[in-house]
Amino acid sequence: MSSYSFEYPYILLLVFVFILGDILFRQKRASYYIPNLISKLKPIRSTSFIKVLLKYSMIITLLVSLASPIQTLQLPDKTQHSLDIVLSLDTSGSMSLNGFNELDYNQSRWSVVQDVASDFIKNRSKDRIGMVVFGDTSAVVSPLSYDNSAPLISLKNISIGLVGRSTALIDSLASASFLLENSLSSSRLIILLSDGDDTASKIPLEIILKQLDKHHIKVYTIAIGESNNNLLELISAKTNAKSFIANNKKDLDKVYKEISSLEANTHNRSTIKVIKYFYFYPLFISLLFALILAYISRNSENI
């Protein structure tokens, strides 16, 4: 989509100033004061139509050039404005409980998370994905990377109790925000999943919330059951994101898909505004009119 306009359109109004000046201050009669030569001068002829036309053409094209004609193009932005996403996953002891998958009662909560989170990572191939796990403490197991095979391999090899069997939920946000604080992406996300209340964090929640706000990080939270839903709702609300509850594998799959749709390739809807300038064309034409006018004036009696 394109449109044509002037950067400084009000300059075109100066044409009326030139017209008014020409009407009010036009020389009515040419006169000479040259002693002893007046008898040799030829009669003065009125200004020719062609010279008036050239004069106004020169002025108008010069004003058009000064008004700066432009073409504005709205082009789709095809550059990669990827999202930076950190998955923060609970690997505490309670994640070993079975019964979360209604179709396979023997599958543990953590095994379900591995399956669903893997599908999510595969579907975000254009984004940078990182991963943090937490138990007694929190740890980065995969830094932000466009290579989604790295978090997939890490996720596959993580086991329950890797960093302890407690729940340092708030501390995990510190580790995740550390990965995102130098991000240049316009969208920085943490997807925090946990099935228990915070029992081991050493960093106050208020400090983490200030850190998240400083770096414009949104935190989507997923509660496995409702044991710590109030805390997760608070974190999401404070970061302008959304909180979810998943009571089984089907719910969890829907939650990750909803988050994916909420943050679905927003960069594909953006455009780049490109401005093309055309002032040099009327400027060249104005110069051409001026040269022709000068040539005609030099070869005529009317200067």
For CATH 3.40.50.410, the residue range(s) in the chain are 84-268
DSSP structure string for 113-156: HHHHHHHHHHHTTTSEEEEEEESSSEEEEEEEES-THHHHHHHH
Per-residue pLDDT at 303 = 42
Closest listed residue to residue 170, CA positions, set 213, 137, 130: 137
User: Any idea which fold 84-268 has?
Assistant: Rossmann fold (3.40.50)
Per-residue pLDDT at 295 = 86
Per-residue pLDDT at 18 = 84
CB-based contact 161:129 (threshold 8 Å): no
Mean pLDDT of successive 10-residue stretches along the chain, which has 303 residues: 86 87 69 53 60 88 92 70 90 92 92 96 92 96 92 94 94 96 90 92 95 95 81 94 94 95 65 84 92 84 47
Please give the single-letter amino acid code of residue 283: L
Alpha-carbon dihedral of residues 199, 252, 131, 237, nearest 10 degrees? Answer: -60
Per-residue pLDDT at 80 = 52
Residue 34 has what DSSP assignment? -
